[in-house]
Amino acid sequence: MSTAPVIAAVDGSDDSLRALDWAVAAARQRGAPLRVVHVRQYAAWGQPDVLVAAEPDAAGDPVLDEVRERLRAVAGTLAVEYVALEGAPAALLPELGADALLLVLGSRGRGGFTGLLLGSNGIAAARDAGCPVVVVPRPGREVHEELPAEPGPRVVVGLDVDNPDGATLAFAYAEAAWRGARLQVIAGYPWPVQSWIAVGSLVPPAVDQGEIERETRTLAEGFLAPHLKDHPNVGTQILALPGDAAGLLVAASKGAELVVVGRHRRRLLAPARMLGSVTHAVLLHAACPVAVVPPSPPEQ
């Protein structure tokens, strides 16, 4: 059994309990222990400069007591640890990912504005955690567009052929293998391609759309080749499509089990961690859970 846990962040809300159920299944798939964490949030006026004040007794935490009761009948042989913390969830949750396989949380918690699609804790965890973060949305999100897909379980991953990330692809293939699912790879490309030659004048594209699509697919096949070798039993469907990457991934999320996206690498002029506009949009609008994967470490 792996010693690194799958962490489920709970606060008693329906959203966090849905995330808990997802985390239980993920821990079983991986043969990993489950760590259930409840962060009791300080009031904004309480101790603003303190991130962690204490680690209270998990046995006296009503939220964790509710989770124990919920898992009593379903945990079976799954090893479960319960942890109660006090402090600022947006600061503490990302830190928990330092020694975790996965950090799983709901799209909204008890606090904040109920009309928001994604809570601040989810944004902070997806942006800053050192492990992949899975955000489980509320049921009923409507996705009006739909992409062609074969029947059966499906994991979706976004592939930017201009800036591919091996960690994101490796996670997506492993997840598809654990689930016995196919992997649907979405490689978007801009179309129409236009250039300006003078104010108000556009040059028609020098290459036709078919050529761009073929080149995108060829690049995608090259990036996927080592992962296909590692996971020969995972069926792969590559969709090289024109359009906005976020819109394509949201459309692909309809009927999927999981959408996998990468997090931006740190850059010289922007050293802080960033989610990226595509990842942020997918977290806000996807109809299924979304996994945000930290980038591969830079080569030395």
Q: Classify residue 155 by burial, with Cβ atoms within 10 Å: 0-12, 13-18, 19+.
A: buried
Q: 135 vs 30, 122, 173, 203, 249, CA distance in Å?
A: 18, 7, 18, 43, 15
Per-residue pLDDT of the chain (300 residues; tens, 9 = 90+): 458 999 999 999 999 999 999 999 999 999 999 999 999 876 444 444 334 434 555 667 899 999 999 998 887 889 999 999 998 888 899 999 999 999 999 987 555 444 344 567 888 899 999 999 999 998 888 888 888 888 899 999 999 999 999 999 999 999 999 999 999 999 999 877 655 555 555 555 566 889 999 999 999 999 999 999 999 999 999 999 999 999 999 999 999 999 999 987 544 444 445 567 899 999 999 999 999 999 877 654
Beta bridge partners of 83: 37
Structure-token pair, residue 1: 């059994």
Supply the pLDDT for residue 279: 92
Structure-token pair, residue 220: 């995608």
Supply the pLDDT for residue 9: 94
Which residues neighbour 201 within 8 Å (Cβ) at sequence distance 6 or greater?
A: none
Structure-token pair, residue 295: 């980038």
Q: Which of 240, 102, 214 is nearest to 158 (CA)?
A: 240
CA atoms within 13 A on the CB side of 7: 25
Beta bridge partners of 231: none
DSSP-derived letter for residue 193 is -
Structure-token pair, residue 266: 């740190």
Q: How far apart are the first and last CA of the chain?
A: 32
Supply the pLDDT for residue 205: 57
pTM, to two decimals: 0.85
Q: Give the 3-state secondary structure of residue 286.
A: coil
Strands 34-41 and 6-9, by their bridges, are parallel
Q: Domains in the chain, ordered, with CATH?
A: 6-136 (3.40.50.620), 154-293 (3.40.50.620)
What are the pLDDT digits (tens) for 157-191? 999 999 999 999 999 999 999 999 999 999 999 87
